[in-house]
Chains A and B, each alone.
Chain A
Amino acid sequence: MFDVIFLQFLNGLDKGAAYALIALGLTLVFGTLGVVNFAHGALFMLGAFCAVLFRQLLTMETITIDPTQLSPWGAPLEVRAPLVQAWFGDFGAVLVNYSVPASIIITIPIMLLVGIGLERGIIKHFYKRPHAEQILVTFGLAIVAQELIKSFFGPNPIPQPMPSDLRGAADIGAFLGMQANVITYPIWRLVYFLFSFIIIGGVFAFLQFTTFGMVVRAGMADRETVGLLGINIDKRFTIMFGLAAVVAGLAGVMYTPLLPPNYHIGMDFLVLSFVVVVVGGMGSLPGAVAAGFLLGILQSFASMTQVKALIPGIDQVIIYLVAVVILLVLPRGLFGRRGVMEA
């Protein structure tokens, strides 16, 4: 039984890592700019499509027609040859194999530009408007982004293979000195967990240990006073929006081997990540991370056959049930601050 529980726990950590990563970006935006950003799911989706775009560029082919061979429908056969391998040889093949992690190189600048452009172009005009209007405009932006991606990449999911060295499962049981082949877990999911851990740790370290981070934290606590000290807090908050977009984008990139992305993938995560943010406490970064892991683990355990035998259908409602209970007991969420969204 220990192995079953351990595996579900591991799965919960893995799910929680994804929820926490998305919720972190969402909270960064809310905590700094006070904007309820319904386009955050779209940023996750755009990141995933950076990986798709990068792979499509790497797997471009030359097509030559071979009139001596026929396809089953009688047309001359198209002979395709990969372009990148032809140019770069073995390095090209390695690049194609590692296309998902390598796409981070293009994802960071693209998402930073998207984030800053979005904030400067549209969202800054809604800072002093009611939250309902912010939700409407960001939700509209999300739909526009979806439709753009749909028109360029089509409606169907596009599978993104993980690097061949990271396929298959790791024998964690044997690693921990237990019987072999009892506790095994997909390597890429462990990579995702580790990646999330690094990103979350990096964001916290950035805010905690840099002057920029200190100013941002001061601005989050009291924007006006920081402004009166002659610090251009708006500029820093704009960069924070860009950073939140990068975090969401990177979460999307690394998720693509687990779930082939389509234009709708962001919306699937959006509702969940809002629940995570609300449970964690609006504007609280540690709250978002803690709630992400908590809900991921609970969802994983609720999917166990033994649990479902006791409460049928619990796996589908557990997250919302927990959210309701926590909000009844702790109306500001787990780490919520007084005064946030309570005006």
Chain B
Amino acid sequence: MTLLKRGLSRRRVLQTGMAGIIGTGVMPAIFTKGAWAQEFCNNPTGDTVTFGLNLPLTGAYAEEGADEQKAYELAVQHLNGEGDGGLINVLTPTALKGNGILGKKVAFVTSDSQTKSDVARAGATRMIERDGAIMVTGGSSSGEAVAVQSLCQELGVIFMAGLTHSNDTTGKDKRRYGFRHFFNAYQSGIGLGPVLGQEYGTDRRAYHLTADYTWGWTQEESMKAATEALGWETVEAVRTPLGAGDFSQFLTPVLNSGADVLILNHYGNDMVNSLTQAVQFGMRDRQTNGKNFEIVVPLFSELMAKGAGANIKGIFGTSNWHWNLQDPGTVAFTKSFGAAYGAPPSQAAHTAYVQALLYADACERAGTFYPPEVIKALEGHEFDGMGNGPTLYRAEDHQCMKNILVVQGNDNPTSEYDVLNIVQEVDREVVTYDSAIFGGDLGPAEPAPLC
């Protein structure tokens, strides 16, 4: 009775009640702040963290895929503290320490996407569900990028796109879990338009041959907008199937169409084939409308230029990056890649390498692999030292804003790698555009889906 009286005093009841409320309600929230164990897809629990490399090792863009793989392997070495450290030494700001990511060694699994969207999606699914990939990266076509990024949004895994140039990737098909370092078709048009006007004048008639998928469509649209703004007339825009091989039946109608410029919205092997065949048709030796017939390749790559050989000489295009740049980042990466593989890196290799490092850096800065926190660390992140000058990962559409290059096929190459000359480095401010023009919706980061 005495005990009961003592234990049930009003003060005692209030004290006990408050302690109970704090103990059961508030304290767990305090102690678990920053901890997301088992609450997201492929939360790494061991000593390693796995990247999923989705690479087109066969198909129309196979050369780019092979170069991307080399770059990713180099990035993994550098992240794990092996080799010369590459761009980790010049990235500013950086949280990378060269001891893996958050103390875990980086490993990787690969899948051959065959430059096909459905195969890329299946490969990404396998790497996420079977191999436990924390992040998926790679790809050399926008069709693959759009397909895989949509999958990654559904599964709650971050996708760091490789070579994808379609406006749709960070436009109408953008996703919260997808990020693109590479530039896009719209930016190519902004950069290339003035140079074409300066070189070829404002009275031109253009014929487009366009790869029939998302990248080709947006590339054609952007080049039409840029050239028509100069006063050029678009004679015809013809779609060609990806991987067509023989483009002769598409090239013969160009000859007597009245066009004096052929714009090849092709990339990879398609570009090599269509350009080579256009030259075989004598298009670079023709005179039409009293002017020299010209060929334009809006998106160039060094690998492509190498494959096309002498046909590329004097032809204008754009590039995301080139190993000939002289900034410390480019010099460091070219040296590191060249020492490892005996050849300079392509722009595909560069963007792949940079994406791997940026993801790792974001995890370090976020202090976790929890995707919504990594996304926050990447959105609006400003960095420098990666070869494109000061760069912003724009929060609104996950598109990197940075300088781009207008390039021209080298008339007098000194080596098999010296195939492109940099004509102009187009400033980031010039190629920055309103993210709203391409629409799309990023979607939510949270709740993070559980794969």
Chain A contacts to B: CB under 8 angstroms:
3-4, 7-8, 10-11, 14-15, 71-75, 155-157, 159, 161-162, 167-169, 181-182, 184-186, 188-189, 258-260, 264-265, 268, 299-300, 303-305, 308, 315-316
Cβ contact within 8 Å between A8 and B335: no
**Interchain CB contact (< 8 A) of A156 among B63, B276, B287:** B63
A2 and B285 CA atoms in complex are apart in Å by 22
Apart from A15-B249, A159-B309, what are 20 other A-B pairs with CB-CB below 8 Å?
A7-B255, A8-B249, A8-B252, A8-B253, A72-B324, A72-B338, A73-B339, A74-B335, A75-B338, A75-B339, A157-B269, A184-B255, A186-B277, A186-B282, A258-B280, A260-B273, A260-B307, A265-B245, A305-B236, A316-B241
Contacts of B337 in A (CB 8 A): 73
> What are the nearest 3 A-B pairs in CB distance?
A73-B338, A169-B282, A303-B249
Complex Cα gap A228–B397 (Å): 80
* A159-B272, A260-B307 known; A167+B280 contact, CB < 8 A: yes
Q: Which of A3, A159, A169 contacts B280 (CB 8 A)?
A: A169
A186/B253 in contact, CB under 8 A: no
Select B57's contact among A155, A161, A189, beta carbons within 8 Å.
A155
Given contacts A303-B249, A305-B253, contact A169 B281 (CB under 8 A): yes
Interface residues of B (CB under 8 A from A): 57-58, 62-63, 66, 236, 238, 241, 245-246, 248-250, 252-253, 255-256, 269, 272-273, 276-277, 280-282, 285-287, 307-309, 323-324, 334-339, 342, 344
Residue in A75, A260, A300 whose CB lies within 8 Å of B272: A260
> B51 to chain A: closest CB distance in Å?
22
Q: Which of A159, A184, A303 contacts B276 (CB 8 A)?
A: A159
B249 lies within 8 A of A300 (CB): yes
Contact A184 B282 (CB under 8 A): yes
Let me know if A169 and B285 touch, CB within 8 A: yes
Q: Which of B245, B256, B286, B323 contacts A3 (CB 8 A)?
A: B256
Residues of chain A within 8 A of B277, CB atoms compared: 186, 258
The answer on a CB contact under 8 Å between A15 and B248 is: yes
A184 and B66 CA atoms in complex are apart in Å by: 38
Chain B residues closer than 8 Å to A168, beta-carbon distance: 280, 282, 285
Q: Which residues from B are CB-within-8-Å of A259?
A: 245-246, 273
Q: Which residues of B contact A258 (CB under 8 A)?
A: 246, 248, 277, 280
> Across the interface, do B249 and A299 meet the contact criterion of CB distance under 8 Å?
yes
Judge whether B256 and A4 touch: CB under 8 Å: yes
Note all chain A residues with C-beta closer than 8 A to B309: 159, 161
Can you list 22 A-B contacts with CB-CB less than 8 angstroms, sorted by A residue number?
Answer: A7-B252, A11-B252, A15-B248, A72-B323, A72-B335, A72-B344, A73-B336, A73-B337, A155-B62, A156-B63, A156-B66, A157-B269, A159-B272, A169-B285, A181-B287, A189-B248, A189-B280, A260-B269, A268-B245, A305-B238, A305-B253, A315-B249
In Å, the complex CA distance between A3 and B255 comes to 10
Closest chain A residue to B345 by CB distance? Answer: A73
Which residues of chain A come closer than 8 Å to B250, judged between CB atoms?
A: 303
Looking at B66, B255, B285, B307, the one whose CB has the most chain A CB atoms below 10 A away is B255
In angstroms, how far is the closest chain A Cβ from the Cβ of B74?
12
How many angstroms between the C-alpha atoms of A7 and B58 in the bound complex? 34
Question: Is B281 touching A156 in the complex (CB atoms < 8 A)?
Answer: no
CB of A126 to closest CB in B, whole Å: 30
- In the complex, the answer to whether A188 meets B280 with C-beta atoms within 8 Å is yes
Residue of B whose beta carbon sits closest to that of A71 = B338
Once bound together, how far apart are the Cα atoms of A167 and B308, in whole Å? 14
A303, B246: Cβ atoms under 8 Å?
Answer: no
Question: Which chain B residue has the least Cβ–Cβ distance from A185?
Answer: B281
Contact A181 B252, beta carbon cutoff 8 Å = no
Nearest Cβ in chain A — how far from B276, in angstroms? Answer: 7
Report chain B residues within 8 Å CB of A185.
281
Does B62 contact A186, Cβ atoms closer than 8 Å? no
Contacts of B280 in A (CB 8 A): 162, 167-169, 186, 188-189, 258
Of all chain B residues, which has the CB nearest A187?
B280
| Residues on the A chain within 8 Å of B323, using CB | 72
Which B residues are CB-close (under 8 A) to A169?
A: 280-282, 285
Interface centre among A73, A162, A182, A185 (most CB of B within 10 A): A73
Given A7-B255, A185-B281, A260-B307, A73 and B248 contact (CB-CB distance below 8 Å): no
Is A181 a contact partner of B286 (Cβ separation < 8 A)? yes
Chain B residue nearest to A14 (CB atoms) is: B248
Please name the residue on chain A nearest to B251 by beta carbon. Answer: A11
A241 to B281, CA, bound (A): 36
- Measured in the bound complex, the distance between the Cα atoms of B246 and A188 in whole Å is 14
> Which residues from chain B contact A4 at a C-beta distance below 8 Å?
252-253, 256
Docked CA distance A120–B224 (Å): 59
B339 & A159 in contact (Cβ 8 Å cutoff): no
Nearest chain-B residue to A155 (Cβ)?
B58
A1 to B113, CA, bound (A): 44
**Are B285 and A300 touching (Cβ within 8 A)?**
no
Q: Which residues of B contact A73 (CB under 8 A)?
A: 334-339, 344
B-chain residues with CB within 8 Å of residue A189 when the two chains form the complex: 248, 280
Q: Complex: how many Å from CA A182 to CA B256? A: 7
Complex: A168 Cα to B256 Cα, angstroms: 17
Distance of A155 Cα from B238 Cα, bound (Å): 29
Measured CB to CB, the nearest residue on chain B to A2 is B256
Chain A residue at smallest Cβ distance from B341: A73
A181 to B213, CA, bound (A): 34
Which B-chain residue is minimally distant from A4 (CB atoms)?
A: B256
A159 to B276 CA separation, bound complex (whole angstroms): 10
Docked Cα-Cα span, A304 to B277, in Å, equals 17
Contact status B339-A74, CB under 8 Å = yes
| Given A157-B272, A159-B309, A303-B253, also A72-B58 (CB < 8 A) | no
Shortest CB distance A165–B (Å): 14
Q: B276 contacts which chain A residues (CB < 8 A)?
A: 159
Asked, given contacts A73-B335, A74-B335, whether A11 binds B249 with beta carbons under 8 Å apart, the answer is yes
